[in-house]
Structure 1
Amino acid sequence: MEYSKILVAIDRSSQSRLVFQKAFHLAKVEQAELKIFHCVGLSPLAFGSAGDIYGQGLGRAAQVQQELMAKEVEEVKSWLQTFLDECEQHGIRATSEYKIGEAGYWIREVSLSWNPDLVVMGRRGRSELAELFLGSVSNHVIHHLRCSVLIVQNPE
């Protein structure tokens, strides 16, 4: 058995199904344990209008931000459960995990603590200029992990 633990990092894009399917297939063939990971991004905090110079709207904005984050976390838990159910139906041992923050950092941290043999993830295919300014999660992961990394390219 070449891979006994596979970490699949998925986002909520249209490509996530393809990325999951690649990891799912490998886990089935290798009889490996699968961890399905998602990182919930932080959205910018709405600070109120420009006329709100005393920050009176900050308290309300923070409350709204917390409510939105709680709603998104519940959606993510339900979404991840659909992948776990699929694994269970096919006899694949699987768990899921999510973190809030920057994806590259958390994929590295989860990999260090869980110690997979392989990480499977997608690539958005940003332009070179966009990658220069925004960075690339897949590039970050490739350069910061000690295990094998499979980058699933978007066929479009």
Structure 2
Amino acid sequence: MSDLQRILVPVDFSACSRAAVAYAAYLAGALGAEVEVLHAWRPPQELGPFLGEVKVTDPETGERRTLAEHVEAQARGALDDFVASLREQGIEAGASLVEGPPKRAVLEAAETGRYQLIVMGTHGRTGLAHALLGSVAEWVLRHVAIPVVTVPDPQHETRGAAGTPG
């Protein structure tokens, strides 16, 4: 058995995240490791006062609940889908839904979760978009003490990098 037993995969539900989960599944399957999928969400109140208390109707159930409850339920459902997909491949998997900033959530998980590897997607933003939006993956690379594998956005063409055409 490999020393790599636990893989953390932070996700934001983008195509990059799906690619990262797929790569983690490949590694976990080959090495017999387990995968923990992590999503950090911010309550709508952070976008404006009282926004999280706005009532919405769930389109699937017709249930009325606050926007914050709706956002959390949607995130939980998406995480459960990732975990179900991993388990269908015979991989031991779990999920963590954490309220708060993604950088802090990943750092705390890396420090306390006994993971040997983090696999995460990267959007490949450059220039102004990178300066304004930042990069969680880049920040994680600089601040965690365990290895990090970044998986590029499958829709972002990379040319000229090592191992790529161009």
Percent identity among equivalent residues?
Answer: 28
Letter in 1 for 2:144: L
C-alpha distance after superposition, 1:107-152 (max 9, x if no partner): 0111111021100001122222232233210111011111100000
C-alpha distance after superposition, 1:2-24 (max 9, x if no partner): 41110011112122221110011
Normalized per residue, which structure has more helix? Answer: 1
Q: Report deviation, 1:42.
A: 4.1
Contact 2:35 2:92 in 1 (8 A): yes
Aligned positions, number: 144
1:26 paired to 2:52: no
**Structure 1 vs Structure 2 CA RMSD:** 1.9
Residue matched to 2:54: 64
Within a 5 Å distance, the mapping from 1:66-145 to structure 2 comes to: 67-145=66-144
Residue matched to 1:50: none
1:152 aligned counterpart, secondary structure:
strand
Contact 2:7 2:119 in 1 (8 A): yes
C-alpha distance after superposition, 1:47-98 (max 9, x if no partner): 5xxxxxxxxxx5xx45228811211111111111112222222221111001
Q: TM-score, normalised by structure 2?
A: 0.78
1:7 aligned counterpart, secondary structure:
strand
Letter in 2 for 1:30: L
1:15 aligned counterpart, secondary structure:
helix
More divergent stretch after superposition (23-32 vs 131-140): 131-140
Residue matched to 2:48: 46
Residue matched to 1:53: none
More divergent stretch after superposition (127-136 vs 111-120): 127-136
Distance 1:124 1:100 in 2: 22
Letter in 2 for 1:36: V
Contact 2:86 2:93 in 1 (8 A): yes
Contact 2:15 2:153 in 1 (8 A): no
Q: TM-score, normalised by structure 1?
A: 0.82
Distance 1:28 1:146 in 2: 24
Residue matched to 1:153: 152
More divergent stretch after superposition (129-138 vs 17-26): 129-138
